[in-house]
Amino acid sequence: MPDSRRTDLVLLLVAIVWGSSYLSAKTATVALPVLAILFARYLISALACVAFVAARREPRRYTRDEIRFGSLLGVTQAAVLVLETYGVAHTSAANAGLIISLTIVLTPLLDRTGRRGGLPPRFFAAAGVCVLAVGLLMSGSGLHTPGAGELLMLAAAAVRAVHVVLVGRLTAGRDLRPLHLTTVQTVVGSALFLVPAVAHLPVLIHTDAMTWAQLVYLALFCSVFAFLAQTWAVQRTSASRASLLLGTEPVWAVVIGIGLGGERLTVLAALGAVLMVAGTYWGQAIERAHRAATTKAKTVCRTTTPTSA
């Protein structure tokens, strides 16, 4: 199999795994409290990451930046997962996967790194399409006050956008190892959820095998595997191609939520789903083209500006 096709398949698999995480998390919340789920997910992820680091036997220990930035990103990532998990417990997995994809259009609004001037007006038109899509998704079978689940997923999308911007700014130009950074994040997350989850540990320990299987899947596949596979694949393809393939996550969330979870989309919600996918893809394409044009303009300016004698 050609390397490019293998890389595409890995990125598509990451998108499928992330899309499936909403149904897995929703199913787990039926059997366990949210805080117990998050503690177990983080603890399993941390143990796996620590084992991977130990197996590699790298001579260089954790750097100060890896510990410092990993700790900060561990807090922001934990905030995202709290909102996501509570959110998906009160809405459908399909809705959760679609609403969280707002991160794609929220992130460029927060991140001005590498851009000169504002975003093109077309980008805000794409963002408007996404806002309309969220309204339709929230309406369900008719217009009504947004539910707690949808509002929590909106908050999760905003916090995830902040997290993504932080990842970009903190890691740019620094010698940070992804596995070590992820290990610090998962250890910090485990520590954050330990005390709140203590009261639920008896329920967690005695939960059924199916729920434990979902927790292991969320930890090893949706967290550890997805992050490492994404890093490996992005290093072997273009950012544009990677974004396009990873951007299929909400599509898989809908497919898996309906196909395996037995969820149903009303006509309004289905229209919202179509608009959300279209709006995020449109916004992503506009932002990517704008960033590329800005980078090209800077390059031209550097090569044409005369140097002083």
pLDDT tens across 193-229, in order?
999 999 999 999 999 999 999 999 999 999 999 888 8
Contacts of 183 (CB under 8 A, 6+ apart): 46, 49, 50, 52, 53, 70
Residue 41 near residue 223 (C-beta atoms within 8 A): yes
Q: Mean pLDDT, the chain, as a whole number?
A: 84
Give the C-alpha separation, 24 to 41, whole Å.
12
Residue 142 — very low, low, confident or very high, per pLDDT cuts 50/70/90?
low
Rounded to two decimals, the pTM is 0.83
Per the structure block, which two tokens stand in for 28? 């787990």
pLDDT at 251 over 90: no
Q: Which residue is associated with the tokens 């998906």?
A: 88
Whether 296 shows a pLDDT value over 60: the answer reads: yes
Residue 309 pLDDT = 38
Q: Name the residue with tokens 């199999």.
A: 1
What is the SS3 string spanning the chain? CCHHHHHHHHHHHHHHHHHHHHHHHHHHHHHCCHHHHHHHHHHHHHHHHHHHHHHHCCCCCCCHHHHHHHHHHHHHHHHHHHHHHHHHHCCCHHHHHHHHCCHHHHHHHHCCCCCCCCCCHHHHHHHHHHHHHHHHHHHCCCCCCCCHHHHHHHHHHHHHHHHHHHHHHHHCCCCCCHHHHHHHHHHHHHHHHHHHHHHHHHHHHCCCHHHHHHHHHHHHHHHHHHHHHHHHHHCCCCHHHHHHHHCCHHHHHHHHHHHCCCCCCCHHHHHHHHHHHHHHHHHHHHHHHHHHHHHHHHHHHHHHCCCCC
pLDDT over 70 percentage in the chain = 88
Average pLDDT of span 41-60? 91
Between residues 70 and 240, which one has the greater pLDDT? 70
Q: What residue ranges do the domains of the chain occupy? A: 3-293
pLDDT of residue 115: 54
Model pLDDT, residue 308:
42
Higher pLDDT, 309 or 115: 115
At 64 the pLDDT is 92
Higher pLDDT, 283 or 3: 283
- What's the burial of 202, exposed, middle or buried (CB within 10 Å: 0-12/13-18/19+)? exposed
In this predicted model, which residue has the larger pLDDT, 45 or 257? 45
